[in-house]
Structure 1
Amino acid sequence: MSEKNGAVPHPFHEETLESKPIFQGRIISLQVDTVRLPNGETATREIVRHPGAVAVVALVQGKMLVVEQFRKPLEKMQVEIPAGKLDAGEEPQAAALRELEEETGYRARSIRHLHSFSTSPGFAEEVLHLYFTDDLEKGAAHLDDDEFLTCEAITLEQAQAYIAEGRICDAKTLLAVYAWRMYTMTGSF
């Protein structure tokens, strides 16, 4: 048996036998796949399909821009770096520039890709593209109709306090704070 590119699959590869769509929403879809396990048995895998997202570590005068908004799945307010989903056919860098300006009112004159990572590979295909900028000019925020948030610029010490208090607890913002700390200590990411 071989994969599409001609390579031999990994011994732990799970072959999809059937894929059943369960839900199609505005942002995500859910499917249940029946797979053949490496031992020949079958199992089901619930998979969330997501178009991908972007997030920006944006520094202005030595402080990081963050937004605070209510997150319904957590039932609480959350402090996060500016972020959002990719629109259909949108390039990640364009989305990062768009989301930064929409949520914070700042336009990046230049932006740099830091890394792309899977957010929850156990059940979701979402990949988040993380960018950095410290080359900003003030503009005006343009929030979506269903988006309610506040924006502030915080120090590294404030960010670490927000983590300790649980106000920052999402992976992308934790990663951003740790990357910012490394950048502060070493001058690079």
Structure 2
Amino acid sequence: MKPWKLLDTEYLVDAPWLKVAKEKCELPNGKVIDDFYTLWQPDWVLILARTSKGEWIMTEQYRHGTGKIALEFPAGIIDKGETPEQAALRELQEESGYGIEKQCVTLSEASKMRSRTGLDSSTPLRSAQNDTISYLGSFPVNPDRHRGRFHVVFIDNVVKNGCTHFDSTEEIESLLLSDEALQAKMADGSFNHPLQMAGYLKWKLSLK
């Protein structure tokens, strides 16, 4: 099986947060598709943050795509130059006011650990002391026609350690859920973000 050959690209939308392209592609059998549409958005990180009591840090905010208030794990765009772990710690603090204790891996320590060991952002990074931060991998948002990816980071034993900091377009409330309560909300449909559920499943599988 061979991949398609890209013959031409025309950007219909070319904005910092979204690109929509009309692509001309040649299939292995010679057939040409003149208008295959693809999407791109910046990579983002999904943050599975848990307290020492085993409670998940969750958020609620309005999502205009569905027109409803959504229950979610914290998440956010990875800024240029950030590792997924750094983005996870920053976004977790900004959205919920939770973070890691001083003896755990800090942002600068995470960067230094990667530099010393030669790890890149696709390699799991763990605390030298207590496995506080675990990188669980990156995954395509939609393999069919979406070029963006999301990364999954697990942070254990987080504590409330500061104030939130929202963008001017954000209004976010945070709450705590036990693992059993979270699974119950998955079952009844009140937690229904498919990519976030996939990230949670990846974490579950990592325990085996």
Task: Give the structure-1-normalised TM-score.
Answer: 0.84
Match for 1:178: what amino acid? L
- Please state whether the residue corresponding to 2:58 is helix, strand or coil: strand
**Post-superposition CA distance 1:94-128 (Å, at most 9, x none):** 11111111111011344210121111111111111
Tell me if 1:65 matches 2:57.
yes
Task: State the number of aligned residues.
Answer: 175
Larger RCO: Structure 1 or Structure 2 (Cα < 8 Å, ≥ 6 residues apart)? 2
Structure 1 stretches lacking a partner, 5+ long: 1-10
Alignment partner, residue 14 of structure 1: 4
Query: 1:156–1:181: 8 Å Cα contact kept in structure 2?
Result: no
Q: Distance in 2 between the 1:179 and 1:21 partners?
A: 34
What is the aligned partner in structure 2 of residue 156 from structure 1? 179
Match of 1:31 among 21, 24, 46: 21
Change (3 A) 1:59 1:23: same
Residue of structure 1 in register with 2:134 after alignment: 112
SS in 1 for 2:91: helix
Rounded to whole Å, the distance in 1 between the matches of 2:138 and 2:20 is 23
Distance 1:161 1:78 in 2: 16
2:136–2:203 contact (8 Å) kept in structure 1: no
User: Which residue number corresponds to residue 156 of structure 2?
Assistant: 134
Supply the distance in 1 between the matched residues of 2:164 and 2:186 (Cα, whole angstroms): 26
Q: Deviations over 1:41-94 (max 9, x none)?
A: 111321111220001111112111110111111121111111011223332221
Report the alpha carbon displacement of residue 177 of structure 1 after superposing the two structures with TM: 3.9
Classify 1:153/1:176 alpha carbon distance in 2 versus 1 (closer, same or farther; 3 Å). farther
What is the CA–CA distance in structure 2 between the aligned matches of 1:48 and 1:68, rounded to whole Å? 26
Partner of 1:90: 82
1:103 paired residue number: 95
Aligned twin of 2:143 = 121
Instruction: Report % sequence identity.
Output: 29
How far 1:172 moved relative to its partner? Answer: 3.1
CA distance in 2, matches of 1:49, 1:22: 12
Instruction: Report the alpha carbon displacement of residue 135 of structure 1 after superposing the two structures with TM.
Output: 3.0
Instruction: Give the deviation of 1:180 after TM superposition.
Output: 5.5
Deviates more, 1:104-113 or 1:55-64: 104-113
- Rounded to whole Å, the distance in 1 between the matches of 2:158 and 2:2 is 46
Contact in 1 for aligned 2:46/2:199 (Cα 8 Å): no
Whichever residue aligns with residue 173 of structure 2, its letter is T
Equivalent residue, structure 2, for 1:3: none
Letter in 2 for 1:120: N
Asked if the contact 2:136–2:202 (Cα under 8 Å) also holds between the matched residues in 1, the reply is no
Partner Cα separation in structure 1 for residue 195 and residue 83 of structure 2: 19
| RMSD (Å) for aligned C-alpha atoms | 1.8
